[in-house]
Amino acid sequence: MKTRVFALIGDPVEQSLSPAMQNAAFGALGLNCVYIALRVPSAGLTDAVAGVRALGISGLNVTTPNKIKIIDLLDELDESANSVGAVNTVKNDRGKLVGFNTDGDGCIRALRGRVGSLRGKDVVLLGAGGAARAIAFSAVKAGAGLTIANRTASRARAVAEAIEQRLGSTVKLIGLNRAELARALRKADILINTTTVGMRPRIDETIVTSSMMHRKLLVNDIVYDPLQTRLLREAKRAGAEVLDGLGMLVQQGALSFEIWTGKRAPIRVMAAAAKRELKGRCP
């Protein structure tokens, strides 16, 4: 039987948890599939995608710096990738390369595991980069009320305008100053950090502190290096519920797996593999 090959393309890819996670999932379902990480800098992307076609590679995950540039090299975009304007998953559908974006829905699936439906929930999103844009679209589609807080106002405005144009929903915009954030958080149900603040090596930094949180708030940091960020420590101090970055990481990978195989992803197996891999790195 032919082995189906899947790959992550980006630069860097050495630190990715996806090979461990996807290969564990393939193994658990007894699928004859392998997943490898391939370093593809921006300059090599066109050749790499031609290679995917020539070699009959069955699917891709796409990461920095290729998520936007790859769009022009694909045959079709799913709605998820089209609205966000970035691709993190490609399916080779008998020679037709179709782009998807599972980042936003991955985050929402992880949140749903904790709070159920997001309809009517008040979400404050820190950041307005690529991950934030994907999550913002999925959150609004899921029926949440969204406030975006970003350092650079123009980037937040661009995300809000895209959402208004495509989904017809209004997004609130605020700055990162403590007073404005504290006010927005007082009535919020969910806080999501998509900024790089708190990521190794700047592990002692946080935008929001415990005094700005309340006990009914769910605080989700999509940073997973480290898993216990300063933001999540602040949330615990405030008695709030926490969801670490493994949640979204596993769910976005699970959605990719389901797009490629048409089978339900073994979430627990994938989470355990990612955790094992992370532990092996930072004892």
Q: Which CB atom, from 66 or from 195, has the smaller least distance to ligand ATR? A: 195
Phi, psi of 119 (to 5 degrees): -60, 125
Question: How far from 239 is each of 198, 206, 214, CA to CA, in Å?
Answer: 20, 17, 7
Rounded CA separation 261/259 (Å):
6
Q: Which CB atom, from 112 or from 151, has the smaller least distance to ligand ATR? A: 151
Rounded CA separation 89/106 (Å):
12
When asked if residue 243 is in the footprint of ligand ATR (CB under 6 A), the reply is no
- Whose CB is nearest to ligand ATR? 129
CB 246 within 8 A of CB 218: no
Smallest gap from residue 197 Cβ to ligand ATR (A): 5
- Structure-token pair, residue 163: 């959402």
Binding segment for ligand ATR (CB under 6 A), chosen from 3-11, 161-169, 177-185, 191-199, is: 191-199
In the list 46, 152, 170, 211, the residue contacting ligand ATR (rule: CB under 6 A) is 152
The torsion angle over the Cα atoms of residues 272, 273, 279 and 282, rounded to 10 degrees, is -140
Rounded CA separation 88/76 (Å):
14
Fill in the per-residue mask, 102 to 141: x = in contact with ligand ATR (CB under 6 A), - = not in contact: -------------------------xxxxxx---------
Smallest gap from residue 174 Cβ to ligand ATR (A): 13
Smallest gap from residue 126 Cβ to ligand ATR (A): 7
In the list 102, 194, 251, 252, the residue contacting ligand ATR (rule: CB under 6 A) is 194
Binding residue count for ligand ATR, defined by CB under 6 A: 15
Query: Which residues have C-beta within 8 Å of that of residue 170, sequence separation ≥ 6?
Result: 160, 164
Fill in the per-residue mask, 161 to 190: x = in contact with ligand ATR (CB under 6 A), - = not in contact: ---------------x--------------
Query: Which residues have C-beta within 8 Å of that of residue 282, sequence separation ≥ 6?
Result: 225, 226
In the list 42, 46, 170, 196, the residue contacting ligand ATR (rule: CB under 6 A) is 196
When asked if residue 211 is in the footprint of ligand ATR (CB under 6 A), the reply is no
Catalytic residues: 67
∠ Cα 215 198 218 (to 5°): 20
In the list 22, 88, 150, 251, the residue contacting ligand ATR (rule: CB under 6 A) is 150
Beta strands 89-93 and 33-39 are unpaired
Binding site for ligand ATR (CB under 6 A): 127-132, 150-152, 155, 176, 194-197
